[in-house]
């Protein structure tokens, strides 16, 4: 195991943590499996692409704009669509969000075609040496941004009044209603936050490689696997799960080949579903 593989795995894992954090938040609070998460990531990536291409904004500066756009989309989706079936059996919400994913992906194919597009990043080729390993600057920046956004989410959930309202709804829905928590509004804002996190992840992914309307397909599966690994609903779970997933995927690819690296997340998913279904940090009420 080389230092280069470890560094690459950690940098990848930071992005994975951000990819999974929004999925984990929505699943833990609302008890639904949001399989439109990948489409929201894709829309975040295209937000950065068009803001950079059409308006000439630096790609990194598009991230808060992308998050704001995706928050509005997520809020409206939850308020006017998902809230109508939120108490339906979980398979109904799964089918519904999967249908949303298909709508968004096909809508993107009609608008932007299936051609691969790349965000112009002036500093994409910059790197520096660290103990004999090469560290790409853009991946390091993406890693730091992912950690900062994840940390802000954690602090928001733990320290703010609204974060505590979300936590109350997650732990005991009836008790939250009794103390005056507006559940439909809380759910809509929660979904908006999850969509904003997906938008941030999509923006960062657009800096690291080409994008297309099918960008989110694999990342939905990875988000689910990371949540199982770290613990659904836990704020620290996606961070630890993402870092572990990134390390396993990068190091494992060196042994089994890059062609099979996509099997690693789902192998870990199966193992944790058998051995520890609640994940590393999952609580009993999830």
Residues of the chain with pLDDT under 50: 284-286
Domain of residue 102, residue span: 3-275
Rounded CA-CA distance 198/193 in Å is 9
**3 state SS of 87:** coil
Domain CATH number, residue 158: 1.10.3470
pLDDT at 275: 79
**Number of domains observed in the structure of the chain:** 1
pLDDT at 233: 62
Q: In this structure, are residues 44 and 247 in contact, taking their beta carbons and an 8 Å threshold?
A: no
pLDDT at 271: 82
pLDDT at 73: 95
pLDDT at 286: 41
Quick check: is 231 in a domain? yes
Quick check: is 283 in a domain? no
pLDDT at 285: 39
> Model confidence over 141-163: pLDDT tens digits?
888 888 888 888 878 877 777 77
Quick check: is 286 in a domain? no
In the chain, at which residue ranges do the beta strands (DSSP E only) sit?
Answer: 127-130, 133-136
- pTM for the whole structure: 0.88
Quick check: is 155 in a domain? yes
Quick check: is 187 in a domain? yes
First-to-final CA distance of the chain: 36
Quick check: is 203 in a domain? yes
């Amino acid at each position: 195991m080389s230092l280069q593989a470890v560094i690459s795995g950690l940098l990848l894992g930071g992005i994975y943590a951000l990819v999974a954090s929004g999925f984990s938040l929505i699943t833990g609070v609302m008890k639904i499996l949001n399989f439109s998460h990948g489409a929201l990531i894709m829309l975040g990536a295209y937000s950065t692409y068009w803001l950079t291409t059409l308006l000439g904004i630096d790609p990194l500066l598009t991230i808060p704009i992308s998050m704001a756009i995706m928050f509005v989309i997520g809020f409206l989706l939850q308020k006017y669509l998902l809230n109508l079936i939120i108490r339906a059996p979980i398979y109904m919400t799964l089918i519904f969000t999967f249908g949303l994913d298909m709508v968004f992906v096909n809508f993107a194919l009609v608008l932007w075609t299936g051609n691969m597009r790349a965000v112009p990043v002036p500093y994409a080729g910059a790197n520096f040496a660290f103990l004999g390993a090469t560290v790409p600057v853009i991946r390091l920046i993406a890693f730091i941004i992912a950690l900062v956004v994840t940390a802000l989410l954690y602090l928001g959930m733990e320290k703010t009044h609204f974060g505590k309202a979300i936590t109350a709804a997650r732990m005991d829905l009836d008790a939250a209603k009794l103390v005056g928590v507006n559940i439909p509004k809380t759910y809509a804002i929660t979904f908006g936050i999850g969509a904003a996190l997906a938008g941030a992840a999509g923006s960062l992914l657009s800096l690291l490689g080409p994008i297309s309307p099918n960008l989110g397909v694999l990342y939905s599966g990875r988000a689910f696997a990371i949540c199982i690994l770290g613990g659904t609903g836990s704020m620290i779970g996606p961070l630890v799960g993402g870092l572990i997933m990134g390390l396993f995927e990068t190091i494992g690819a060196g042994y089994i080949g890059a062609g099979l690296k996509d099997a690693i997340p789902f192998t870990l998913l199966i193992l944790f579903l058998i051995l520890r279904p609640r994940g590393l940090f999952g609580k009993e009420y999830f």
